[in-house]
A and B are shown apart, each in its own frame.
Chain A
Amino acid sequence: MSLFANIDWSDIGFATLDTLTMLGGSMALTVILGLPLGVILFLTGKGQMLENKAAHTVLGLLVNILRSVPFVILLIVMIPLTVLLVGTSLGVAGAIPPLVVGAAPFYARLVETALREVDKGVVEASFALGGSRRQVVLGALLPEAMPGIIAGATVTAIALVSYTAMAGVVGAGGLGDLAIRFGYQRFQTDVMVVTVVVLLILVQVLQMVGDAVVRRVSHR
Chain B
Amino acid sequence: MIRFDSVSKTYAASRGASGHAALREASLEVAQGEVFGVIGASGAGKSTLIRLINGLELPTGGKVVVDGDDVAALDVAGLRALRRRVGMIFQHFNLLSSKTVEQNVAFPLKLAGRAPAEIKTRTAELLARVGLSDHATKYPAQLSGGQKQRVGIARALATGPKILLCDEATSALDPETTEQILALISDLNRELGLTIVLITHEMDVVRRVCDRVAVLEAGRVVEEGPVEEVFLHPASGTARRFVGEAEEASEVALPAGVLVRLTFKGEATYKPVLGAVARETGVDYSILGGRIHKLRDAPYGQLTLALTGGDIEAAIVRFEAAGVRVDRLEDAR
Contacts and interface: CB of A to CB of B under 8 A. Distances in A.
A219 B99 CA distance: 8
A128 B88 contact: yes
Interface stretch (A132-140, A168-176, A191-199): A132-140
B94 A121 contact: yes
A interface, size bucket: 20 to 34
B108 A130 contact: yes
B122 to A, nearest CB: 14
Contacts of A18: none
Interface stretch (B31-39, B76-84, B270-278): B76-84
B90 A130 contact: no
Contacts of A128: 54, 56, 83, 86, 88, 165
Q: Which secondary structure dominates chain A's binding surface?
A: helix
Interface in A74-127: 119, 121-122, 124-127
B56 A130 contact: no
Contacts of A131: 80, 108, 111
Contacts, number: 71
Contact of B110 (A119, A121, A127, A139): A139
Given A128-B56, A130-B84, A219-B139, A122 B110 contact: no
A144 interface: yes
B39 to A, nearest CB: 22
B48 interface: no
A139 B107 contact: yes
Contacts of A219: 97-98, 139-141
A151 B108 CA distance: 29
B302 interface: no
Contacts of B96: 122, 126, 140, 143-144
10 contacts: A121-B92, A125-B94, A129-B88, A129-B159, A130-B80, A130-B81, A130-B159, A144-B96, A220-B97, A220-B141
A143 B88 CA distance: 21
A131 B155 CA distance: 13
B317 interface: no
Interface core residue of A122, A126, A129, A140 (most chain B CB under 10 Å)? A129
A217 B141 CA distance: 13
B112 interface: yes
B95 interface: yes
A146 interface: yes
